[in-house]
Chain A
Amino acid sequence: MLSHFKLNINGKVREVEVDPTTPILWVLRDHLDLVGTKYGCGIAQCGACTVHLNGVAVRSCQLPISAVGSEKITTIEGLSEEGDHPVQKAWLEHDVPQCGYCQAGQIMTASALLNQNTNPSDSDIDSAMHGNICRCGTYTRIKAAIKTAANSQDLN
Chain B
Amino acid sequence: MKVAKIKIGRRSFIKSSTLASGGMVLGFNWLMSCDMTPSQVKALPKEWFKINGFLKIGDNGLVTIMSPNPEIGQNVKTSMPMLVAEELDTDWNDVIVEQAPLNTTLFKRQLAGGSQSIRQGWNSLRMAGATARAMLIEAAAKTWNVAASEITTSEGQLIHTLSGKQAGFGEMASLAATLEVPSEVKLKDVTDFKIIGSSRKNVDGSKIVTGKPLFGLDYKSENMLIAMIVHPPAFGMKLKSIDDSKAKSMPGIERVFTIKTHESGYSLGAFDNDAFNEIAVLVGRSTWEVMQAKKELIAEWEMAEAKVEELNFFGRNITVETPAGLESTADHKRILEKMSIKKAKVVRKDGNPEAAFKKAVTIIERSYTCPFLAHNTMEPMNFYADVTEEKATLVGPIQTPEIMEQSVSKRLGMPVENIDIQMTRMGGGFGRRLYGHFLTEAAVISKEMKQPIKLVYSREDDMTQGTYRPSYHAYYKAGLDENKNLIAFQVRAGGIPESPLAANRFPAGAVENYVAEEWSQVSNITVGAFRAPRSNFIAGAEQAFLDEVAEAAGKDPIDFRLELLTKAESKPIGTNNDYVASRYAGVLKLVKEKAAWSTNKNPDVFRGTAAYFCHNSYVANVLDMIMVKGKPVVQKVYCAIDCGIVVNPDAATNLAEGGLVDGIGHAMYSAMTFKDGVPEQNNFDTYRLIRHGEAPKEIEVHFVENKIDPTGLGEPPFPPVMGALANALYRATGVRQYNQPFITDKPLAG
Q: Taking beta carbons and an 8 Å cutoff, which residues of A are in contact with B?
A: 1-2, 18-19, 21-23, 26, 29-31, 33-43, 45-46, 48, 75-77, 79, 83, 88, 91-92, 95-104, 107, 122-123, 125-127, 129-143
Q: How far is the CA of A34 from the CA of B430 in the complex (A)?
A: 27
Q: Which residues of B contact A23 (CB under 8 A)?
A: 288
Judging by beta carbons under 8 Å apart, are B428 and A99 in contact?
yes
Q: Mark B184-211, 1 if CB is under 8 A from A, else 0.
A: 0000000000000001011011101111
Q: How far is the CA of A81 from the CA of B515 in the complex (A)?
A: 64
Judging by beta carbons under 8 Å apart, are B378 and A40 in contact?
yes
Q: How far is the CA of A35 from the CA of B217 in the complex (A)?
A: 9
- Residues from 633 to 655 in B contacting A, C-beta threshold 8 Å: 650-651, 654-655
In this complex, what residue of A is CB-closest to B31?
A: A35
User: Looking at chain A's contact residues, is the secondary structure mostly helix, strand, loop, or mixed?
Assistant: loop
Q: How far is the CA of A96 from the CA of B206 in the complex (A)?
A: 11
B741 at the binding interface (Cβ < 8 Å): no
B695 at the binding interface (Cβ < 8 Å): yes
Q: Taking the nearest CB of chain B, how far is it from the CB of A152, in angstroms?
A: 14
Q: How far is the CA of A130 from the CA of B690 in the complex (A)?
A: 10
The number of residues on chain B lying at the interface, defined by a beta carbon within 8 Å of a beta carbon of chain A, is 68
Q: Taking the nearest CB of chain B, how far is it from the CB of A62, in angstroms?
A: 12
Interface centre among A2, A83, A129, A136 (most CB of B within 10 A): A136
Q: How far is the CA of A42 from the CA of B461 in the complex (A)?
A: 12
Known: A39-B380, A41-B459. A141 touches B214 (CB 8 A): no
Judging by beta carbons under 8 Å apart, are A137 and B211 in contact?
no
Interface centre among B288, B459, B695 (most CB of A within 10 A): B288
Q: How far is the CA of A20 from the CA of B287 in the complex (A)?
A: 14
Judging by beta carbons under 8 Å apart, are A45 and B72 in contact?
no
Contact residue among B286, B291, B693 (Cβ-Cβ distance under 8 Å from A31): B286
Q: Which residues of A contact B657 (CB under 8 A)?
A: 137-138, 140-141
Judging by beta carbons under 8 Å apart, are B654 and A138 in contact?
yes
Known: A40-B459, A101-B378, A135-B378. A45 touches B211 (CB 8 A): no
Judging by beta carbons under 8 Å apart, are B692 and A95 in contact?
no
B170 at the binding interface (Cβ < 8 Å): no
Contact residue among A19, A29, A122, A135 (Cβ-Cβ distance under 8 Å from B428): A135
Q: How far is the CA of A137 from the CA of B659 in the complex (A)?
A: 7
In this complex, what residue of B is CB-closest to A131?
A: B691
Q: Which residues of B contact A126 (CB under 8 A)?
A: 692-693
Q: Mark B138-158, 1 if CB is under 8 A from A, else 0.
A: 000000000000000000000
Q: How far is the CA of A92 from the CA of B203 in the complex (A)?
A: 10
In this complex, what residue of B is CB-closest to A144?
A: B698
B689 at the binding interface (Cβ < 8 Å): yes
Judging by beta carbons under 8 Å apart, are A30 and B202 in contact?
no
B660 at the binding interface (Cβ < 8 Å): yes
Q: Which residues of A contact B662 (CB under 8 A)?
A: 135-137
Q: Taking the nearest CB of chain A, how far is it from the CB of B264, in angstroms?
A: 34
Q: Taking the nearest CB of chain B, how far is it from the CB of A27, in angstroms?
A: 8
B507 at the binding interface (Cβ < 8 Å): no
Q: Which residues of B contact A79 (CB under 8 A)?
A: 210
B696 at the binding interface (Cβ < 8 Å): yes
Q: How far is the CA of A41 from the CA of B532 in the complex (A)?
A: 25
Q: How far is the CA of A136 from the CA of B663 in the complex (A)?
A: 10
Judging by beta carbons under 8 Å apart, are B428 and A130 in contact?
no
Q: How far is the CA of A23 from the CA of B286 in the complex (A)?
A: 12
* Cβ contacts A to B, 8 pairs, < 8 Å: A2-B251, A23-B288, A26-B286, A38-B427, A99-B428, A100-B208, A129-B693, A135-B662
In this complex, what residue of B is CB-closest to A45?
A: B684
Q: How far is the CA of A140 from the CA of B655 in the complex (A)?
A: 12
Q: Which residues of A contact B690 (CB under 8 A)?
A: 137, 139
Q: Mark B424-444, 1 if CB is under 8 A from A, else 0.
A: 011111100000000000000
Interface centre among A1, A77, A131, A133 (most CB of B within 10 A): A133
Q: Taking the nearest CB of chain B, how far is it from the CB of A99, in angstroms?
A: 3
Contact residue among A98, A107, A141 (Cβ-Cβ distance under 8 Å from B209): A107
Q: How far is the CA of A78 from the CA of B565 in the complex (A)?
A: 56
Q: Which residues of B contact A42 (CB under 8 A)?
A: 291, 458-459, 683
Q: Taking the nearest CB of chain A, how far is it from the CB of B568, in angstroms?
A: 32
Judging by beta carbons under 8 Å apart, are A135 and B459 in contact?
no
In this complex, what residue of B is CB-closest to A98?
A: B73
Judging by beta carbons under 8 Å apart, are B426 and A35 in contact?
no
In this complex, what residue of A is CB-closest to B660?
A: A137
Judging by beta carbons under 8 Å apart, are B697 and A122 in contact?
yes
Contact residue among B199, B213, B289, B659 (Cβ-Cβ distance under 8 Å from A35): B213
Q: How far is the CA of A9 from the CA of B459 in the complex (A)?
A: 27
Judging by beta carbons under 8 Å apart, are A139 and B695 in contact?
yes
Contact residue among B72, B74, B692 (Cβ-Cβ distance under 8 Å from A142): B692
